[in-house]
Homo-oligomer: A and B are copies of this chain.
Amino acid sequence: MDKNPKRAKFIREATFLLSEKGYKAMTMRELASRLDCDKSNIYNYIASKQALLDQLLFDIADKFHTGLSEIEATSYSAIDKLKEVIRLHIRMTFDNPNKMQIHAYEWRFLEEDRKKLFVNRRKNYEAKISNIVQAGIDEGVFKSGDSEFLRNCILSSIRWLYTWNSPSKKNANPLEVEKNITEFILGGIKK
């Protein structure tokens, strides 16, 4: 992902710390200490703390958008598209739970303009998923209801998964998780 291995290590450690402490509580000094270098050295790899957050957040957002575009480009039915969306979220969570946590909670600390842009893109992203849900309702395969409301329930059902970065859960099988969450969303828990 990053050609420069030192820079890559820096980004990795920063991501971990950012997710663990949150943007405001993470200090450049602590990051430096984890990297066994002086705080000033960090600025050889990144322009500022804010730039680090910015890059991380928009990177993930871009991946979401790319993933969703690919799904939209298929000729799948609404239900299959939704399954792919679920899969996308779960895979991204398993690939990097820390980044997912940052994506979910730290966008508040973006600078005003970038925050607006971020929120707009997210709104856009979520609207597309609402459209898939709405299509399913129109096709008659999903129960009728407010597509935005249902989309919120759906995405929220998946969001907790980033907490599974604990050692005990780390070996969970993403395919199995995918199956279980999809069953929950599609069929609920009642027999």
Contact = CB atoms under 8 A, between A and B. Distances in A.
Contacts of A188: 183-188
A66 interface: no
The dominant DSSP class at the A interface is helix
Nearest to A144: B191
Interface residues of A, number: 39
A5 interface: no
Contact of A149 (B150, B153, B180, B186): B180
Given A142-B189, A190-B142, A153 B184 contact: yes
A88 interface: no
A79 interface: yes
A25 B106 CA distance: 12
Given A153-B160, A186-B190, 9 more contacts: A22-B22, A142-B190, A143-B183, A155-B160, A156-B156, A156-B160, A159-B159, A159-B160, A186-B189
18 contacts: A25-B108, A140-B191, A141-B190, A143-B189, A145-B180, A152-B160, A153-B157, A153-B160, A153-B181, A154-B189, A156-B157, A156-B159, A156-B160, A157-B157, A159-B159, A159-B160, A184-B188, A186-B188
